[in-house]
Amino acid sequence: MMPAMSTELLPVQGALARVEFRRSARARKVSLRIDPAQGGVVITLPPRASRRAGLSLLQTHEAWVAEKLAELPGAIPFVSGAVIPINGEPHVIVPAGSRPGGAWIEDGKIFVSGGQEFLARRVTDHLRRLARQRLTALTAEKAKQAGVAPKSVRVKDTKTRWGSCAPDGTLAFCWRLILAPEFVQDYVVGHEVAHLRHMNHGRNFWALTENLTSHRSAATAWLSVNGQALLRIG
Ligand SMILES: [Zn+2]
């Protein structure tokens, strides 16, 4: 049984969209509308309609929905109630009022304390921190496996590249990788660590990359479909 309301991140013409399913006792038929405030889609289901009926309506109007969403600024802003992916899993942003702790993750929620005006900033800071921890740990693991040592690992807000390797051995990653599924993070880190040994995209480079990660093709495909959407979160 579906709860009265649920929110999911679903692909709409290649980009992840926030889709809210609402159960309504008064609704006569399945309907769909754009919610500009949340930058998503609201699908209203009458009491006996299935989630699948809602999905099918979404598919029928996919092109229209994608066009309307593209016209909205910032697909998923960091606001109370927004659903954002963390390691590819949906998490809803919940204000935690004056509870201390800054920001923390628990049961599919990201709790954020303090005033609403600082909420977006706190979410961003927390995700950047998580990204740094995770990508640094993954880098250390793969560097050890490859017998190399990065000079340092940085996490930045890059718009065009998910990762890079400087000639001095500094690796840099886009913090938004923390939004992507773990197999995508695994591939991007494996790719950059392989550059510590081969500063090119030659055969030896790819052989080492494939050694360090088994997700090359899946991650490349995922990023080409969903990469742009990650840039529109926050
Ligand atoms: Zn490369």
What's the average model confidence in pLDDT over 207-225?
95
* Å from CA of 105 to ligand 1 middle: 32
* Å from CA of 68 to ligand 1 middle: 35
Ordered alpha helix ranges (H), 72-181: 119-146
Per-residue pLDDT for 61 more than 70? Answer: yes
* Å from CA of 83 to ligand 1 middle: 31
* Å from CA of 198 to ligand 1 middle: 9
* Å from CA of 200 to ligand 1 middle: 7
What share of the chain in percent tops pLDDT 70?
96
* Å from CA of 3 to ligand 1 middle: 44
pLDDT tens digits for range 104-132: 999 999 999 988 888 999 999 999 999 99
Amino acid at site 181: P
pLDDT at 3: 64
* Å from CA of 146 to ligand 1 middle: 16
* Å from CA of 193 to ligand 1 middle: 9
pLDDT band (50, 70, 90) for residue 229: confident
Domain ranges, ordered by start, for the chain: 5-71, 83-123, 127-231
* Å from CA of 113 to ligand 1 middle: 39
pLDDT band (50, 70, 90) for residue 45: very high
* Å from CA of 202 to ligand 1 middle: 10
What's the average model confidence in pLDDT over 62-72?
86
CATH numeric code, 127-231: 3.30.2010.10
d(Cα 169, Cα 23) in Å, to the nearest integer? 53
Whole-model pTM over 0.75? no
* Å from CA of 199 to ligand 1 middle: 8
Q: Which positions ≥6 away from 21 have C-beta within 8 Å?
A: 2, 5, 6, 7, 8, 43, 45, 51, 54
d(Cα 135, Cα 142) in Å, to the nearest integer? 10
d(Cα 119, Cα 217) in Å, to the nearest integer? 36
pLDDT band (50, 70, 90) for residue 181: very high
* Å from CA of 219 to ligand 1 middle: 14
pLDDT tens digits for range 126-171: 999 999 999 999 999 999 999 999 999 999 988 779 999 999 999 9
